[in-house]
Amino acid sequence: MDKYIEERVALWLNDDYDADTKAKIREYQQNNPDELTEAFYRDLEFGTGGLRGIMGVGTNRMNKYTVGAATQGLANYLKLQFPNQEISVAIAFDSRNNSAYFADITADVLSANGITCHLFPELRPTPVLSFAVRYLHCQSGVMVTASHNPKEYNGYKVYWNDGGQLVPPHDKNVIAEVNKIKSLHDTKWQRNPDKVHIIDSSLDEAYLKLVHGLSLHPEAIAAQKQLKIIYTPLHGTGITMVPKALKMYGFENISIVKEQAVSDGNFPTVKSPNPEEKSALVMAIAQAETEKADLVLATDPDADRVGIAVRNSKGEMILLNGNMTGSLLVHYLLSQWKALNKINGKQFVVKTIVTTELIKRMADAYQVPCFDVLTGFKYIAEKIKEHEGQMTFIGGGEESYGYLAGDFVRDKDAVIACCLIAEMTAFYANQGKSLYQMLLEIYHEYGFYKEDLLSLTKQGKSGAEEIAAMMVNYRNNPPKEIGGQKVVLMNDIQASIAYHLDKGTQEPIALPKSNVLQFFTADGSKITVRPSGTEPKIKFYFGVVGELPDVVQYDEANAALQAKIKGIIEEMKL
């Protein structure tokens, strides 16, 4: 074993770590030295979104000590930012193994540092934590979750006083404070019970009341209250809020996938609790077929993302991807805000730069500004904060199944999304239309936008070097044509410059620097190249656009656009 790793292991065996931890380390020494190497070869990184990693002993794992160190770093930063103030932090957790335990550790360390903790007594969705930060006037919040990762993982997301996840400069500054915690003894562990307050049900009631307040057409729900909805929380936190919220909206025919309503961090009925994956919705769709349901809703373990299934023109249940659902939702919000005379030039929508351009096309048609932000919902929250008091956020989202309406939550919210998706299903059903038919009508009116994603994994040091070389090559030698169309614009987010290649001009880009390149062609195609910040991957997002002259030509037009994407992938030799 590497001498550096041996020294780190020896420190944990000889310092005041608990007996179970030391026993596990000795077990690895005897039976699994490779696992011991993995557990200690580095520190688990506290990134811009917090911690996320495999649970277990060691410096590179999610455990009491890494969570404690992260919390001590956060406490130190909060004291620097809010000197001589009473500081409070809201803490929530999801259904994962050890989530409640890590939430308690967080409360221990924060309270030991004299910080007041508002702790949820049981699991709650991430968006409810975001709401709690604002509702309780906290300076920060902590959500213990690893979102849709496999069962071996857990995580720790940090929120600032606006209810959004950390953005610059706070993200980097908190990281710097966490990195200063070098020893077990740098962390204060002894809970001050006087500083830990358990959140009562009044917060849930306040949140649900505001969710209900987003309803635009209660009369449509009243007429379609028997709309058959299948809901699965995928063993996660959605079970605590989504059924209540749907019933509050007026839906009376909600059927829950019972096997997946059990909160279980082992996620026993799915390979991965990710609503983006078809396999996660198999049980829900089977139940929908048996019960002849109209809509399937599936939320991930911390209920910030939702996947849906609807019936197509043949009556078959099909999955919609994140761009499709987001487009339907934004169209519904824009069209009904307009119909209700709620648009007066002071509203806006937000999407991420890798999300479908259809959302911007629709916003332009309604003369509502659409802001593009970097990938990550924290940047949508930042945009809401930026315009607070001057403009009203209608809604928005990202292609990875995260959506939001209203501004009382500052993260993607599957509870809100489930309610509004169900409402718009009822609204269109009242007009004799399905969501699928409405999607095709949107394509007919605004253009048929189709997207795809390709991830290339490049392992090890050589893989990282290959990804870096690819980005350098695209920057220095941008393609002149893509898919038979001239490239007219290259956005280099790292350089903060938009190059108008057709005009030979350039202009600044008002986005935080990020290693992302985007190419736009004359016919509206968009290709985004983005290395992952957490995995040895480089991602290519493809967006093409065509026409749908008649909804009955959908299959033919869809096949043509899919072929176009395939041709671009082949042309780029991916």
Place of tokens 């392992």: 459
Of the candidates 88, 95, 147, 400, the residue annotated as catalytic is 147
Place of tokens 């001589």: 84
Return the pLDDT at 2.
Answer: 86
Return the pLDDT at 534.
Answer: 63
Q: What domains are there in the chain, each with its CATH number?
A: 42-199 (3.40.120.10), 207-442 (3.40.120.10), 448-571 (3.30.310)
Return the pLDDT at 328.
Answer: 98
Under 8 Å between Cβ of 166 and 134: no
DSSP 234-302: TTSGGGGTHHHHHHHHT---EEE-GGGSS--TT-TT-SS--TTSGGGGHHHHHHHHHHT-SEEEEE-TT
Using alpha carbons, select from 228, 232, 229 the residue that is nearest to residue 281: 232
SS3 330: helix
Return the pLDDT at 462.
Answer: 84
Q: The tokens of 565 are what?
A: 């994407």
Q: The tokens of 129 are what?
A: 């934590």
pLDDT in tens, the chain (574 residues): 789 999 999 999 999 999 999 999 999 999 999 999 999 999 998 888 899 999 999 999 999 999 999 999 999 999 999 999 999 999 999 999 999 999 999 999 999 999 999 999 999 999 999 999 999 999 999 999 999 899 999 999 999 999 999 998 999 999 999 999 999 999 999 999 999 999 999 999 999 999 999 999 999 999 999 999 999 999 999 999 999 999 999 999 999 999 999 999 999 999 999 999 999 999 999 999 999 999 999 999 999 999 999 999 999 999 999 999 999 999 999 999 999 999 999 999 999 999 999 999 999 999 999 999 999 999 999 999 999 999 999 999 999 999 999 999 999 999 999 999 999 999 999 999 999 999 999 999 999 999 999 999 988 778 889 999 999 999 999 999 999 999 999 999 999 999 999 999 999 999 999 999 999 999 999 999 999 866 789 999 999 999 999 999 999 999 999 999 999 999 999 8
Return the pLDDT at 16.
Answer: 96
CB atoms within 10 A of CB 146: 26
User: What is the C-alpha separation between 153 and 266, in angstroms, rounded?
Assistant: 10
Return the pLDDT at 101.
Answer: 98
Under 8 Å between Cβ of 122 and 93: no
User: What is the C-alpha separation between 370 and 420, in angstroms, rounded?
Assistant: 20
SS3 5: helix
Return the pLDDT at 464.
Answer: 86
Q: The tokens of 570 are what?
A: 């082949």
DSSP 45: P
* Catalytic residue status for 255: no
Beta strands, E only, 358-484: 370-373, 392-398, 402-405, 448-457, 481-482
DSSP 340-367: TT--SS-EEEEEETTS-THHHHHHHHTT
Under 8 Å between Cβ of 73 and 174: yes
- Count the residues in the chain: 574
Q: Give me the amino acid identity at 264.
A: D
CB atoms within 10 A of CB 562: 13
User: What is the C-alpha separation between 302 and 162, in angstroms, rounded?
Assistant: 20
User: What is the C-alpha separation between 217 and 223, in angstroms, rounded?
Assistant: 10
Q: Using only the alpha carbons of the chain, give its radius of gyration.
A: 24
